[in-house]
Amino acid sequence: DPSYRAIVERFARDQGAFDHAFKHAWYKLTTRDMGPRARCTGPDVPPAQPWQNPLPPPPERLANFTAVATEVRALLGRSDPAFPADRLPPLDRPDYGPLMVRLASQCFSTFRVTDWLGGCNGARIRFPPERDWPDNKALDRALLLLRPVKERYGDALSWADLIVLTGTVALERAGASELPFCGGRTDAADGAGSAFLAPAVSGSRNDTVYRIKQTALLMGLSPREFTALVGGGHSLGQMHPSRSGYAGAWTADPSRLDNSFFRTLFAETWEPFTVPSTGRQQYRAGGGKELYMLHTDLFFRFDPELAAAAHDFASDNALFLREFSAAWTKMVNADRFDGPTGNLCHHHH
C-alpha cells in the first residue's frame, strides 16, 4: 500500500519521527478510555490531546444565575409566533417547559461511563452530529428561543450552563422541589466529541428491554434511576408527528411533573395505534382516551425489574419526586470531573 509504504520509509530513515509517533500512539491507546485530561493525575500528564476533546476553561466571572433563572422563567410562559409553544391541557396556556426539559436531557444523555465521553458540558448539541440526530429534531428551535438570554450575558454564561439551568428551572416550575445548580460549564468549538454517541433507543418497535437497560448502564444509571428519569420526562409535554413521528401526551396534565406517567401506565389498557400522518406504531389508552404510550414505555409495566421501580413510583409521588431529582442532578453534573474520581459539583448536592 503506497500510503503505508511512505510512512514506513520515513520511520526507517528517521528514528526521531518514529519515536514521536510511537509515544503519541501508545499514550492514546492506553489513555483514551480515561476521558478528558481532567480525569488524569500526576506530574507526567501531557497537555490535553485532540482526541480528549478538550474544552476551554470556564469564564473567570460567572453570570448571576439567579437573574438568569428569572429571565428563563418568564420565557417559558411566552409563545414566539415563529415557533409557537404547545398549549397543554388542562390549562391551555403556552408552555415551553417540556421542550426545555427535553433539550437539557438530550444534552446530558450522551454521557457514558465506559470512556467518559459525552454529557452536557461543552453543549455539543449545538453542532453536528448531535444537532442532526432524529431524536433532537426541533431542539435547534429551543436554542433560538434562548439566544437572547445568552447574548445578554455574553461570555459569563456558557450555552452549557444555560441549557442545564433552563431545564432545571422548567422542572421546578412544573412541580419539582428546588434543584441544586452547579455552574461553571464551558462550550466546545465544534461537535467532534460526539461522533460515536448517537442514541441506541428511539421508542420504536425495534427497541428491546436489553437495549434500554444497556443504555442506562452506559450512562452510569441504575435501572431504578433510569426509570425515574424516563417517568419524569414522559410526565411532561407531548409527542409531535412532525418531530418524532409519534403523537399525543402520556398524561392528562402534561404541564405537571408528578408520578402520573406511572399511574397512567398501570391503570389503562393499551391498544395498538398507528399515527395517521407518519405510519409510526405506538399505543393508545382503551375507550378512546387521549393518552398515548411508546413501545418502550410498556417495558416499565411488563419487565419485572423496571416494573418494581415503576410500581413504587406510581404509589408514592413524594418518593418519585425525590428520586427523580436525585437522578437528574446526577446526570447534569456527571461530566464535571475533578481528578480521576472527584466531581466539582458534589458540594452542591
SS3 72: helix
Q: What is the pLDDT of residue 97?
A: 98
The string of pLDDT tens digits covering residues 275-333 is: 999 999 999 999 999 999 999 999 999 999 999 999 999 999 999 999 999 999 999 99
Q: What is the pLDDT of residue 141?
A: 97
Of 164, 146, 165, 170, nearest to 73 (Cα)? 170
Please provide the distance, in angstroms rounded to a whole number, between the alpha carbons at the two ends of the chain: 56
Grid cell digits, residue 277:
400522518
210-229 burial code (b ≥16 CB/10 A, e <16): eebbebbebbebebbbbbbb
Residue 83, class by beta-carbon neighbours within 10 Å (0-12 exposed, 13-18 middle, 19+ buried)? Answer: middle
Percent of the chain with pLDDT over 70: 99
Q: What is the average pLDDT score of the chain? A: 96
CA atoms within 13 A on the CB side of 278: 15
The string of pLDDT tens digits covering residues 217-254 is: 999 999 999 999 999 999 999 999 999 999 999 999 99
At CB < 8 A and 24+ separation, what contacts does 147-153 make? Answer: 149/68, 149/71, 149/72, 149/75, 152/71, 153/63, 153/68
Residue 347 pLDDT greater than 80, yes or no = no
* Residue 348 confidence class, pLDDT cut points 50, 70, 90: low
Residue with cell 492506553: 30
* Residue 255 confidence class, pLDDT cut points 50, 70, 90: very high
Q: What is the pLDDT of residue 242?
A: 96
Average pLDDT for 45-64 = 95
- Beta-carbon neighbour count of residue 180 at 10 Å? 14
> What gap in Å lies between CA 51 and CA 249, rounded to an integer?
41
Pairing of strands 238-239, 248-249: antiparallel
Residue 339 pLDDT greater than 60, yes or no = yes
The string of pLDDT tens digits covering residues 120-170 is: 999 999 999 999 999 999 999 999 999 999 999 999 999 999 999 999 999
Name the residue type at position 254.
P
CA atoms within 13 A on the CB side of 13: 5
The string of pLDDT tens digits covering residues 174-190 is: 999 999 999 999 999 99
279: left (phi over 0), alpha (psi -120 to 50) or beta: left
Q: What is the pLDDT of residue 279?
A: 97
Of 178, 219, 212, 218, nearest to 325 (Cα)? 178
pTM of the model: 0.96
Residue 349 pLDDT greater than 60, yes or no = no
Q: What is the pLDDT of residue 91?
A: 86
H-state helical runs in 41-177: 65-76, 97-108, 139-153, 159-174
